Amino acid sequence: MNQINIKVNGEPFTVSKDESLETLLLSYQVNLNSVALVRGGQVVPKTLWAITPCEADDEIELFGVVAGG
């Protein structure tokens, strides 16, 4: 069983076991410098993305910047 199921912004997603958060983000084609990643309600600092693997049933939320006053 090399695949695990996670959720990203509420939508189901399948990743390889041991895939890092950074690799996951790259698959979303987002600019890594303009995203915040929250896992299980906690902000995961950018410096940890490359060394933190996704885990089964992770609920990941991605946030970015939008126009506002």
Partner 1 sequence: MLKIADTVFDSRLFTGTGKYACANTMLAAIEASRSQLVTMAMKRLDFHSGSDDILRPLQGSNIKLLPNTSGARNAQEAVFVAELAREVLGTHWIKLEIHPDPKYLMPDPIETLKAAETLCNKGYVVLPYVHADPVLCRRLEEVGCAAVMPLGSPIGSNQGLATETFLKIIIDQAKVPVVVDAGIGTPSQAMQAMELGADAVLVNTAIASSADPILMARCFAEAVDTGRSAYLAGLGKVSAVAQHTSPQQAPLTAFLD
User: In the bound complex, what is the minimum distance in angstroms from residue 46's beta carbon to partner 1?
Assistant: 7
Taking the least distance from each CB to partner 1, the nearer of 2 and 42 is 42
The site for partner 1 (CB under 8 A) is made up of: 9, 11, 28, 30-31, 34-38, 43, 45-46, 61-69
User: In the bound complex, what is the minimum distance in angstroms from residue 49's beta carbon to partner 1?
Assistant: 11
Q: How many residues does the chain have?
A: 69
Please give the angle made by the CA atoms of 16, 56 and 7, to the nearest 5 degrees.
Answer: 90
CA–CA dist 56, 69 (Å, integer): 38
